[in-house]
C-alpha cells in the first residue's frame, strides 16, 4: 500500500503581487511567466508554503492574466509563505530575480477574501493604425448597437458570443498617425478580450484594422457601478 503524502502546514502569510509585462516580454505566455516566476521565487529565496499531496507545489494563485501579446501594467497573483516576510523586501528580491520587462510593481499583505473576486473589470488602451475620422464613427455605431456577436476558437471549439454587453466605456481619440481606443471591459462569462471588441467593431461597423494593434492593460480591479471607475484590488 502506498504511503500517504506528508501534509504541509498552511501558509502563515499571504502576499498579493502586482506586476507588469512590458516591451518584448508582452509576448510571454501565462505558462512561460509562471515558470519564470517560480524560478525567481527560488533564486530570491522566498520561503514558500507548499501544497499537500504526492507532488507538492508552491502556493501561487494567478488571477486575470492578460492575453499573450498584450502589454500590461496590472497583472496580479497571490503567494503563500511558510515564514513571515516584509512585503517590501520580497518585492526587492523578486524584482532582482525576474528579467527586465517582467517587473514587480507592488507587494502587499493580503487583506483576506478572494483576489480573483476583486478583479471585476479592466482598463485598456488599444493603439490602431486607423484614421480617427474612420474609427470614431465606427465606435459610435458599436456603442449604439444592441449586440455585437463575435466568434472565437476555445478549448471546446468555435464559440459565438456577444462582446457588446461587456463594454462599460469605449472612446476613440487621435494618437500619433493613428487612433487610440480607450476601453473599459467588465469581466464576464464568457470572458471578453480587447481583440473580441476589435472583432465586434469589424462586424458591426465594418472597421478594418491593419497591422498588429498594441494592446495595453492599465488597470484591473473592482468596478464602481456608478462612476465606471476601476479601483485598486490591493486595497480591497
Cell, residue 171: 472612446
As a whole-number percent, the residues of the chain with pLDDT over 90 amount to 83
User: Both 224 and 154 in a single domain?
Assistant: yes
Mean pLDDT value of segment 20-33: 94
As a whole number, the mean pLDDT across the chain is 93
Whether 5 maps to a domain, the answer reads: no
pLDDT of residue 2: 56
Task: Work out the number of other CB atoms within 10 angstroms of the CB of residue 45.
Answer: 9
pLDDT of residue 18: 98
User: Both 146 and 208 in a single domain?
Assistant: yes
Confidence of residue 79 (pLDDT cuts 50, 70, 90): very high
Domain edge (last residue) among 66, 92, 117: 117
Whether 98 maps to a domain, the answer reads: yes
Whether 166 maps to a domain, the answer reads: yes
* 163-213 tens-digit pLDDT: 999 999 999 999 999 999 999 999 988 899 999 999 999 999 999 999 889
* 134-166 tens-digit pLDDT: 999 999 999 999 999 999 887 778 889 999 999
> What residue numbers bound the domain in which 227 lies?
119-235
Confidence of residue 4 (pLDDT cuts 50, 70, 90): low
Residues 6+ apart with CB under 8 A from 165: 147, 186, 188
Estimate to the nearest angstrom the gap between the alpha carbon of 9 and the chain centroid.
Answer: 30
With 0-12 / 13-18 / 19 or more C-beta atoms within 10 angstroms meaning exposed / middle / buried, residue 56 is middle
Amino acid at each position: 500500500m502506498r504511503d500517504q503524502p506528508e501534509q504541509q502546514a498552511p501558509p502563515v502569510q499571504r502576499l498579493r503581487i502586482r506586476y507588469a509585462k512590458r516591451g518584448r516580454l508582452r509576448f510571454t505566455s501565462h505558462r512561460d511567466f509562471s515558470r519564470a516566476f517560480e524560478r525567481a521565487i527560488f533564486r530570491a529565496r522566498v520561503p514558500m508554503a507548499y501544497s499537500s499531496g504526492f507532488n507538492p507545489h508552491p502556493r501561487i494563485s494567478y488571477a486575470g492574466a492578460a492575453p499573450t501579446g498584450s502589454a500590461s501594467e496590472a497583472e496580479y497573483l497571490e503567494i503563500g509563505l511558510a515564514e513571515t516576510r516584509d512585503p517590501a523586501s520580497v518585492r526587492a528580491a523578486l524584482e532582482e530575480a525576474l528579467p527586465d520587462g517582467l517587473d514587480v510593481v507592488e507587494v502587499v499583505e493580503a487583506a483576506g477574501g478572494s483576489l480573483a473576486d476583486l478583479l471585476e473589470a479592466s482598463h485598456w488602451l488599444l493603439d490602431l493604425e486607423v484614421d480617427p475620422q474612420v474609427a470614431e464613427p465606427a465606435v459610435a455605431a458599436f456603442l449604439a448597437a444592441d449586440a455585437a456577436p463575435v466568434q472565437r476558437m476555445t478549448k471546446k471549439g468555435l464559440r459565438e458570443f456577444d462582446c457588446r454587453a461587456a463594454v462599460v466605456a469605449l472612446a476613440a481619440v487621435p494618437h500619433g498617425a493613428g487612433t487610440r481606443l480607450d476601453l473599459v471591459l467588465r469581466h464576464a462569462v464568457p470572458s471578453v478580450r480587447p481583440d473580441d471588441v476589435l472583432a465586434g467593431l469589424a462586424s458591426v461597423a465594418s472597421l478594418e484594422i491593419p497591422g498588429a494593434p498594441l494592446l495595453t492593460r492599465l488597470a484591473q480591479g473592482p468596478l464602481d457601478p456608478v462612476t465606471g471607475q476601476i479601483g485598486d484590488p490591493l486595497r480591497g
